[in-house]
Amino acid sequence: VAAVRSGADAVYLGMGDFNARRNAHNFTPQTIREAVEYCHIRGVKVYLTLNTLVYNEEISAAMTLADQAVSAGVDGFILADLGLTAAIGKKFPTLPLHASTQLTVHTADALEELKNLGFSRVVPSREMSKSELVVFCQKAKELEIEVEVFIHGALCMSMSGQCLMSATLGGRSGNRGLCAGTCRLPWKGGNRDYALSLRDLSLIEHIKELENMGVCSFKIEGRMKAPEYVAAVTAACRSAADNGTPDPELMKLCEDIFSRSGFTKGYYEGEITPDMFGIRT
């Protein structure tokens, strides 16, 4: 509701046990139907995240969940497991499939294969630089595949979709939707007590530049965050998309509501420095 009222064109959400935020208060078959109805009445699309790795014996349960979501009227799926992608693509050939950032797509060379696998949109790794994204978007345009980028939200210490720290230390795999956020703990490194905690990404000020590059959709990482966070960041992005630059007061509100010592665009600008690190205060 906060996202829609603040200007979102689409929302992505989780249901059951096959999404990257299994510990969130996820949707049920009944509540997702209500959410889709609420969004569609207001011209907003709904995408379901089925973006964890799925064991063979879980495919049936995942497909049952997909059936329930399609029955509820979702507009597409965000996927990471290639076996599940093949099964969903075969059963629902007209429904759009989006390649999750959990797939760690960070090179234009991957795009042709993704298109062959049935994906119509790809969310590349959050660690890509501006120059890399330019090449990526050019290739995507040639192949007629859409590009969606993370515009605001948390960064992992490891490459998108590749971290095994939580799984190794606590048996909670991020690739199974159970990341414990161990990189946020007070590890020591040099003079820093929090040596692995990165500031959140924020590229809201570059939204027009990214649009001109060929990016068609801007993703806000907002799950397991408060409605106030979702509202503030969505409003800031809406302002930037409509007016070319974000409202300064809304950007200040984003930082006040949630930040880790401010924000970073170090990966995007190709400046990988200690300034990228920060903690929530």
Helix (H, G, I), strand (E, B) or coil at 152: strand
Model confidence pLDDT, tens digit, residues 138-184? 999 999 999 999 999 999 888 877 888 888 888 887 787 778 788 88
pLDDT value of position 89 = 97
Model confidence pLDDT, tens digit, residues 177-208? 778 788 889 988 888 888 999 999 999 999 99
Helices (H), the chain: 2-5, 29-41, 59-72, 82-91, 111-116, 130-143, 165-170, 207-213, 227-243, 248-257, 266-269
User: 210: pLDDT confidence band, cut at 50, 70 and 90?
Assistant: very high
Take residue 66 and report the two structure tokens written for it: 């997909």
Spatial separation of the C-alpha atoms in residues 176 and 167, rounded to whole Å: 9
Q: Residue 48 is which amino acid?
A: L
**Which residues lie below 8 Å from residue 132, measured CB to CB, with a gap of 6+?**
106, 107
- Burial string for 177-187 (b: 16+ CB within 10 Å, else e) reads bbbbebbbeee
pLDDT value of position 28 = 92
Burial of 266 (0-12, 13-18, 19+ CB in 10 A): buried
pLDDT value of position 192 = 81
> Which residue is listed with tokens 């414990």?
180
Q: Is the pLDDT of residue 82 over 80?
A: yes
Q: Is the pLDDT of residue 24 over 90?
A: no
Mean pLDDT of 39-43: 98
pLDDT value of position 23 = 67
Mean pLDDT of 263-276: 95
- What rounded mean pLDDT belongs to the chain? 93
pLDDT value of position 22 = 64
**192-195 contacts: CB < 8 A, separation 24 or more?**
192/274, 192/277, 194/277, 194/279, 195/277
CA separation, residue 121 to residues 97, 193, 214 (Å): 7, 39, 12
Dihedral (C-alpha) 5, 29, 31, 56: value to the nearest 10 degrees? Answer: -60
What's the predicted TM-score (pTM) here? 0.93
